[in-house]
Structure 1
Amino acid sequence: MIIEKTTIKDLVLVTPAVYEDSRGYFFEAYNQVQFNANGLEYPFVQDNQSFSKRGVIRGLHLQMNPFAQAKLVRVLEGEILDVAVDLRKKSATYGQHFSVVLSAKNKKQLMVPHGFAHGFSVLSETASVMYKVDQLYHKESERGIRYDDPALAIDWQLDANEIIVSEKDLILPGFNEIDWEF
């Protein structure tokens, strides 16, 4: 398992060692000892899974403290553009985002720590996404930022006419309208 830093502090990309033979493949998607050895100490308490069709954008979502969630995101089927936005006001990269293609083929995972908004767009015909979280869902702590906010200028790698967003996500505030502390 390779755990590599990204351009944003504490946001890491995880690439498992994949063992393939004539039967198929095997890999460790999560290894607590290796995570802890790299300073990633999250007590995961829940696994979530979503299925979406091409063009769907889910996000940008987060939960406020003390219910903020760290997420380990991977793709079981298909391909997504996974995006994390740094909302930690004291961070040198506050307001910046990082994006990476995660797919069933490349088996990469993104470890999104507390203090980030998270979302993804589906680039393949369909995609199944699974993510571990270290806090249970807490409706009253749920927040979000509009996916198309010009202040963030995220390229979701989709044509405007194919984007599908939930009603709930369309009414989220813009980045400059939030005042959240992490």
Structure 2
Amino acid sequence: MFELNFFEKKKTNFLPHLLTALFAVLLLLSGLYFFFSYQNYVNIDKDNQYWLLEEADQLALARQMQSYDQLTKQLLVDQVYFEENQYPINTVIQGLNDQLVDQSDHLLTFSLNTDNHVTFVLENSGMTDISAAIDRFAKLDYVTKVQLVRLEETESDHLFLAELRVDLNEEAIEEGE
């Protein structure tokens, strides 16, 4: 026999409905959070753009000062490097010129190249003066080799145009400082 009870309530499962509602509410809240945070960042970006437009002159000045600061720091580093590796050219030139007898009358040209070769062109010099200059150059500590490159007789009697090449030893120059 069948028993029917119209007054008995069936138990319904509300958990799926509750989870769906909770998921929808959380989805709505996260959507609102992202929307308002996006709007906030857009407003901050607009404010920053407005501030950049207002302070463009000051910003350019600050960037220029920063650039000058970086260049100054680099120059200080370079200055220390150059001072450590400075080539004592003044003392070398003075030492070489002191070996020439009366160089104001005889020295025509003087050149120093990057290979540490010094070239002297002497004019109206006697053979003894040229030979003495070669000997004096060879006695210097920082001279490795002296070469007579060219010797031409001038129109004057027993006077010559001489080209001398002096090779310098950079290590000996640095030690002699």
Q: TM-score, normalised by structure 1?
A: 0.22
Structure with the bigger percentage of strand: 1
Q: TM-score, normalised by structure 2?
A: 0.23
Structure number with the bigger relative contact order (C-alpha 8 A, sep ≥ 6) is 1
